Amino acid sequence: MGYEKNQIITAKIVDMTSEGEGIGKVEGYPFFIKDAVIGDIVQLRVTKVKKNYAYGRLEKVVTPSPFRVDPYCPFHKQCGGCQIQAMSYERQLQFKESKVRNNLIRIGGFTPEKLDQMMEPIVGMEEPFHYRNKAQYPVGTDREGNPVVGFYAGRTHSIIANTNCILGAAENQEILESILAYMKENHVPAYDEATGKGLIRHILIRKGFQSGELMVCLVLNWKGKSGAKEYLPEQKKLISELAALKNMTSVSISINTENTNVIMGKEVHTLWGKDTIEDTIDIRDAEKDFAPLGRGVTFAISPLSFYQVNPAQTEKLYSLALSYAGLTGREKVWDLYCGIGTISLFLARDAKQVYGVEIVPQAIEDARRNAWRNGIENVEFFVGKAEEVLPEKYEKEEIAADVIVVDPPRKGCDQACLETMLKMAPERIVYVSCDSATLARDLRVLCDGGYKVKKVRAVDMFPQTVHVEVIIMMQYCGKEKN
């Protein structure tokens, strides 16, 4: 049966795509509908018809799904950052778990029965809001000429005013309001992407959840001389207002004059307070419901540092990594794609020696500083690509590995990296992944090379969104078939 654009159709939502769209079916023909929740009966307007499927816009929820909840954020549909906020948190967790499971079956070739044995229940959050320790708000000008901060609507670059994103820290609002008031009072222009004129582009706020320390960095389109002391009109007024806020620790600016989507500039100048804020990630007992073990690792975070955005769940994920690594104090451990060394420093406490590899030189500088700061001496960090550093160290220096931990970006591990891992044949491999599809692909290679997956566990690092992190543990079993 042919469908036409703008036709109104009633459909039951029977499934969800991995991007969180509802899938409605009419006589077996699928419709993809944003903002529809599994279990809803909806009225949709057809927006685009393809041969085997069509897209529709949600017009009305006729019968709400038992999993539908009232979203907290009035902007959730326009913003698109929280794709599944209209779904109960419990159902979100189930959605994520089955996303991981389906990829492992479809791409990894694991049987459902095997997965039942290996998979442990997903690790969710008790309070799945206000979890982010970092927020980057774009600054613009509204129709009346007033400065606004908020978020980009959908995939556009027009800013919808909102100083109160429910994923961020509660303090963000007060900080943003105070910068807006300063801009208005002193006629400080927001940056305009179309003309390249104006001054303030973005506001970055970071919070150390354990220390309570707050950091603000204003990203400026500043074209004055380098080495200046005044980057903003009435700079002192702004500083004294921000410095008066509770727990404010660092106020800085970053210079970015390029016509680019990259938010931060390379240069950062501290205007007031410290250059960095501090935060601690506690080590927890993954086998005892993540009870704190009374030890942790402390980090210094600058406006440009990479740092995990959900510290509460990071503690659980890395504690799982530590538990899966099964260290006794005698092991040599590699931590590939190590970033600022967060996992490496966790592992170091229980390993003989840890080697970290990371492509971004500044991250390695941070990693070394963090090791020093925590008095950890049995770690060594290398700058470079994992797929180049690992073979080189293994072949030239014959450095061994008892355990290898990898935490690659979305595209997964490079083939050369996987091949070297197989040659090194560590007893265990721990794979932390933010994309279960590339994880499943890489697991195939490792299983064909003699490894067996023993444990799989999803961790919800980004509640309200479709993203899900997974951690798996593999053991070397020789070349027998698995």
Determine if 438 is a binding residue for ligand SAH (CB under 6 A): no
Q: Which residue stretch of 59-67, 155-163, 337-345, 372-380 sits at the interface with ligand SAH (rule: CB under 6 A)?
A: 337-345
Tell me the number of residues near ligand SAH by CB under 6 A. Answer: 19
- Contact (Cβ atoms closer than 8 angstroms) between residue 190 and residue 183: yes
Q: Which of 306, 312, 332, 362 binds ligand SAH (CB under 6 A)?
A: 306
Determine if 308 is a binding residue for ligand SAH (CB under 6 A): yes
Of 73, 338, 434, 447, which one is the catalytic site residue? 434
Determine if 360 is a binding residue for ligand SAH (CB under 6 A): yes
Q: Which of 36, 363, 424, 459 binds ligand SAH (CB under 6 A)?
A: 363
In the complex with ligand SAH, the residue whose CB is nearer, 171 or 366, is: 366
Which residues touch 468 (CB under 8 Å, ≥6 apart)? 96, 99, 100, 122, 436, 458, 459, 460, 461, 462
Residue 325 CB, shortest distance to ligand SAH, in Å, is 13
In the complex with ligand SAH, the residue whose CB is nearer, 131 or 137, is: 131
Angle of helix 235-243 relative to helix 172-185, nearest 10 degrees? 160
Q: Which of 23, 271, 338, 458 binds ligand SAH (CB under 6 A)?
A: 338
* Residue 283, SS3 per DSSP: strand
Determine if 345 is a binding residue for ligand SAH (CB under 6 A): no
Distance CA 86, CA 153 (A): 18
b/e string for 229-256 if b means 16 or more Cβ within 10 A?
eebbeebeebbebbeeeeebbbbbbbbb
Can 434 be counted among the known catalytic residues? Answer: yes
Determine if 337 is a binding residue for ligand SAH (CB under 6 A): yes
Structure tokens at 243: 């410095």
In the complex with ligand SAH, the residue whose CB is nearer, 242 or 405, is: 405
Q: Which of 357, 379, 470, 472 binds ligand SAH (CB under 6 A)?
A: 357
Q: Which of 80, 339, 412, 426 binds ligand SAH (CB under 6 A)?
A: 339
Determine if 332 is a binding residue for ligand SAH (CB under 6 A): no
Instruction: Name the residue with tokens 């979203």.
Output: 71
Determine if 358 is a binding residue for ligand SAH (CB under 6 A): yes
Determine if 366 is a binding residue for ligand SAH (CB under 6 A): no
In the complex with ligand SAH, the residue whose CB is nearer, 241 or 278, is: 278
Give the single-character DSSP code of 338: -
CB atoms within 10 A of CB 177: 13
- Contact (Cβ atoms closer than 8 angstroms) between residue 357 and residue 382: yes
Determine if 265 is a binding residue for ligand SAH (CB under 6 A): no
Determine if 74 is a binding residue for ligand SAH (CB under 6 A): no
**Binding mask of the shown chain, residues 102 to 121, with x at each position contacting ligand SAH by CB under 6 A:** --------------------
Determine if 320 is a binding residue for ligand SAH (CB under 6 A): no
In the complex with ligand SAH, the residue whose CB is nearer, 75 or 337, is: 337
b/e string for 408-432 if b means 16 or more Cβ within 10 A?
beeebbbeebbbbbbebebebbbbb
Distance CA 480, CA 465 (A): 40
| DSSP string for 397-451 | H----SEEEE---TT---HHHHHHHHHH--SEEEEEES-HHHHHHHHHHHHHTTE
Burial of residue 445, with CB atoms counted within 10 A of its CB: 0-12 exposed, 13-18 middle, 19 or more buried: middle
Residue 33 CB, shortest distance to ligand SAH, in Å, is 33
In the complex with ligand SAH, the residue whose CB is nearer, 44 or 343, is: 343
How distant is the alpha carbon of residue 431 from its chain centre? 16
Instruction: Please list the active-site residues.
Output: 434
Which chain residues interact with ligand SAH by CB under 6 A? 306, 308, 337-340, 342-343, 357-360, 363, 385-387, 407-409
